[in-house]
A and B are shown apart, each in its own frame.
Chain A
Amino acid sequence: MATGTLPSPGTEGGSAGTPGARARGRAPRTTVMAVPALLWYAAFMIGPIGAIFVISVLRWPGMLARVGFAGWDNYRAVLSDELFWSAVRNSAVQLAVAVPVMIVFAFMLGYHVSTKPRGYRLLRVIIFTPALISASAKAMIFYGLFAPRGMINYVLGAVGLDSLTHTWLADASTAFGCIVAIDIWAGIGYTATLYAARLSALPESVYEAAELDGAGHWRRMWGIAFPMVKDYVGVTVMLQFLWTLFTSAQNVLLLTQGGPGNASTNLSFLVYQKAFLQSDLGYSQAAGVLLFVFGLTGMLAIRRVFRQSY
């Protein structure tokens, strides 16, 4: 399996020790074999990423319109736009709620699974299932659940909580909450699977001392298991942070189109909306650059937090 085959520096050292002429004759020929992949990667990934920055300083009011130079105008327009700031607020709330809830519950679930409780095999299969569902299928499932006469309202009615029923996706007070709920719903299971795998790889002896101490479930989980995998938790926080920040445009697009009003417009959806629905390409990419910077800053901050104690 992938995790078992870490690169061994010994192999490389061995290649350096082979007779000079042959090593020199071979090295260039093999490195050339990396060129097609590199070109592909540059053309379809690096190029477009770089283009975001270029387009963000262009005046480009539509796909077919004439392109001009705008300088900082797009950034000025973005930063003075009330909609941009409400999108920032939404994204911030989404991250502040979804990521911590997801990570804390996923860790508890992952730890629980790693202790091999009764029925853990079945449990592991179930919690892995959301990782397999595509964005559009997930959105369609929740479209049915959140529908005015869908399952959620039915269940609320059945248990006598009629007052809590909503037109979930069309109500400004609940629309964005639904988007966040979907993130959490799917995110816990997949992240827990990662933690369970990581924690199961720890040797049993790690818990021995605590066992003799009579430490309970809670203390063993947070006092022993968590510190052992803290840097790994940092990696998953970073992953979920990026996914939540960038990919939630899909759920918004499929379920609320940013509405009602702009109640569920977050940053990534704003970038999409300005580019493809309102054809303001310069604005969209200026917001895209800011989104990119936001993502990068957040990532570095998360790295710091999870490295600090070392």
Chain B
Amino acid sequence: MTTDATATAAHGRRRPGIPLGRIAAQLCAWTYALMLLAPLYYLLVSSFKTNAQIFDSPLSPPTSLSFGRFATAISDARLDLAIANSLIVTVSSLVLVLVLALPASYALARAGGRTARVIERAFSLGFLIPTFAALLPTFLLAAELGLFQTRTFLILFLPATSLPLAVVLLTQFMRTVPQEVEEAARMDGAGSVTILVRVYLPMVVPGVVTVGILSFLQYWNEYLYSLVLIGPDEAQRTIQVAVPLLRSSLETDFGVLAAGTVVTLLPVYVAYAFLQRRMEGAMIGSAVKI
């Protein structure tokens, strides 16, 4: 292939006439983008409006930027407690999943035996288990352990659901650490735990970040298990469970509901604003692993 041809191919300018296909694609793509943005815009402007304003002019920008509805949402559904509970669950589960997955993936990356291979296979099959299926047995387990309607059980349980991904991802990262580095440390008399913490951990930080991002998203956004295992107790429930309770069978205040929903979305979008590339990378990488 001549360099000339390569250049034209790269720029895509050789075709005669108007590139109708591309124009149509661009049109469709932005129509879909608009369909994604419109509901979010509606949500955001609604959180500053009364029901009458939402019903009569849903698309117009709010007339005043008062945060009254946010305050109402927070006090009505005790979102302050719910946010605290969600943070406790998310952070504790995050720590737990790393404490469990890091030694496991170190072991699997370094041990060459058949046992290790079988264990790794068992974890990678875990991707295919739809966690929803086991909702009832998990609920019964919580009751059996005397941890029903507590955050504690959720903190113990959630890491198990993301262990397959965490172990498989981290094992792949650990395998990239050169054997020589470990051998040198072992000569100096370091034990396995020391080697994991001092040698491996600093070298697999990108993997830890990826697992951290995915787990954060999963734990913060988790709804069904939180609903069933913790229930509606104000002191224990998470924000995902609390916000839908702002609906009322008589007359929902859509502004307050919208404000509450915005509150649940904020932490995730703030994190996305700072970690855009890493978050996309983590989400894409996790799907590829299956």
- Residues in chain A within 8 A of chain B (CB atoms): 1-3, 5-8, 11-12, 14-16, 18, 23, 26-27, 29-34, 36-38, 40-41, 43-45, 47-49, 51-52, 55, 63, 105, 108-109, 111-113, 115, 117-119, 123-137, 139-145, 147, 149-151, 154-155, 185, 188-190, 193-194, 197, 204-205, 207-208, 211-212, 214, 216-218, 221, 232, 235-236, 238-239, 242, 245-247, 249-250, 253-254, 268, 271-272, 275-276, 281, 284-285, 288, 291-292, 295, 299
State whether A40 touches B130 (Cβ < 8 A).
no
Nearest CB in chain A: distance from B96 CB, A: 9
Please, could you name 24 A-B residue pairs with CB atoms under 8 Å apart, sorted by A?
A: A2-B172, A2-B289, A37-B103, A37-B104, A37-B123, A38-B119, A41-B164, A47-B141, A52-B134, A108-B28, A130-B36, A135-B221, A140-B247, A141-B39, A147-B254, A188-B32, A204-B10, A212-B5, A216-B20, A217-B21, A236-B287, A247-B130, A250-B224, A272-B224
* Chain A residue nearest to B284 in the complex (CB): A197
* Chain A residue nearest to B160 in the complex (CB): A44
State whether A31 touches B101 (Cβ < 8 A).
no
Q: Which of A2, A128, A154 has most chain B Cβ within 10 Å?
A: A2
Main secondary structure of the interface of A (DSSP, over half): helix
State whether A31 touches B137 (Cβ < 8 A).
no
Nearest CB in chain A: distance from B43 CB, A: 5
Q: Chain B, 81-101, contact with A by CB distance < 8 Å: what is the 0/1 string?
A: 000000000000000000011
State whether A140 touches B107 (Cβ < 8 A).
no
B151-181 CB contacts (< 8 Å) to partner A: 156-157, 159-161, 163-164, 167, 169, 171-173, 175-176, 178-179
Main secondary structure of the interface of B (DSSP, over half): helix
- B19 on interface, CB distance cutoff 8 Å: yes
CA distance A242 to B287 in the complex (A): 13
State whether A5 touches B172 (Cβ < 8 A).
yes
CA distance A66 to B43 in the complex (A): 47
State whether B104 touches A109 (Cβ < 8 A).
no
**Chain B residues whose CB sits within 8 angstroms of the CB of A221 once the complex forms:** 21
Asked if A134 meets B223 with Cβ closer than 8 Å, knowing A33-B106, A45-B134, A123-B30, the reply is yes
Which of A12, A36, A147, A193 is in CB contact (< 8 Å) with B284? A193
Number of B interface residues, CB 8 Å?
Answer: 126
Nearest CB in chain B: distance from A205 CB, A: 7
Given A27-B111, A45-B160, A275-B136, 20 new contacts (CB under 8 A): A1-B285, A33-B104, A34-B103, A34-B104, A37-B104, A41-B163, A44-B161, A108-B25, A123-B33, A130-B36, A133-B221, A134-B264, A134-B268, A135-B223, A136-B240, A217-B24, A236-B287, A271-B136, A292-B133, A295-B133
**Chain B residues whose CB sits within 8 angstroms of the CB of A238 once the complex forms:** 290
State whether A3 touches B285 (Cβ < 8 A).
yes
State whether B133 touches A185 (Cβ < 8 A).
no
**Chain B residues whose CB sits within 8 angstroms of the CB of A155 once the complex forms:** 59
State whether B104 touches A144 (Cβ < 8 A).
no
CA distance A204 to B206 in the complex (A): 28
Q: Chain B, 270-290, contact with A by CB distance < 8 Å: what is the 0/1 string?
A: 001000100111111111111
B1-45 CB contacts (< 8 Å) to partner A: 1, 5-6, 8-10, 12, 14-16, 19-22, 24-26, 28-30, 32-33, 35-40, 42-43
Which of B137, B140, B167, B169 is in CB contact (< 8 Å) with A37? B167
State whether A254 touches B104 (Cβ < 8 A).
no
**Chain B residues whose CB sits within 8 angstroms of the CB of A136 once the complex forms:** 223, 240-241, 243-244, 264
Q: Which of A131, A136, A149, A253 has most chain B Cβ within 10 Å?
A: A136
* Chain A residue nearest to B14 in the complex (CB): A211
Which of B9, B103, B133, B136 is in CB contact (< 8 Å) with A204? B9
**Chain A residues whose CB sits within 8 angstroms of the CB of B201 once the complex forms:** none
Asked if A48 meets B106 with Cβ closer than 8 Å, knowing A31-B116, A117-B22, A144-B258, the reply is no
State whether B285 touches A239 (Cβ < 8 A).
no
- B48 on interface, CB distance cutoff 8 Å: no
CA distance A69 to B138 in the complex (A): 21
CA distance A188 to B113 in the complex (A): 42
**Chain B residues whose CB sits within 8 angstroms of the CB of A16 once the complex forms:** 112
- B184 on interface, CB distance cutoff 8 Å: no
Asked if A275 meets B135 with Cβ closer than 8 Å, knowing A2-B281, A11-B179, A204-B9, the reply is yes
Which of B21, B104, B192, B268 is in CB contact (< 8 Å) with A38? B104
**Chain B residues whose CB sits within 8 angstroms of the CB of A250 once the complex forms:** 223-224
CA distance A109 to B31 in the complex (A): 11
* Chain B residue nearest to A38 in the complex (CB): B119
- B62 on interface, CB distance cutoff 8 Å: no
State whether A36 touches B134 (Cβ < 8 A).
no
CA distance A212 to B4 in the complex (A): 12
State whether B280 touches A128 (Cβ < 8 A).
yes
**Chain A residues whose CB sits within 8 angstroms of the CB of B260 once the complex forms:** 140
State whether B285 touches A37 (Cβ < 8 A).
no
State whether A118 touches B26 (Cβ < 8 A).
yes
CA distance A307 to B115 in the complex (A): 30
State whether A131 touches B283 (Cβ < 8 A).
yes
State whether B33 touches A127 (Cβ < 8 A).
yes
- B250 on interface, CB distance cutoff 8 Å: no
State whether A145 touches B39 (Cβ < 8 A).
yes
Which of A36, A55, A125 is in CB contact (< 8 Å) with B100? A36
- B108 on interface, CB distance cutoff 8 Å: yes
**Chain A residues whose CB sits within 8 angstroms of the CB of B186 once the complex forms:** 26
Asked if A34 meets B107 with Cβ closer than 8 Å, knowing A44-B157, A113-B29, the reply is yes
Which of B42, B116, B241 is in CB contact (< 8 Å) with A144? B42
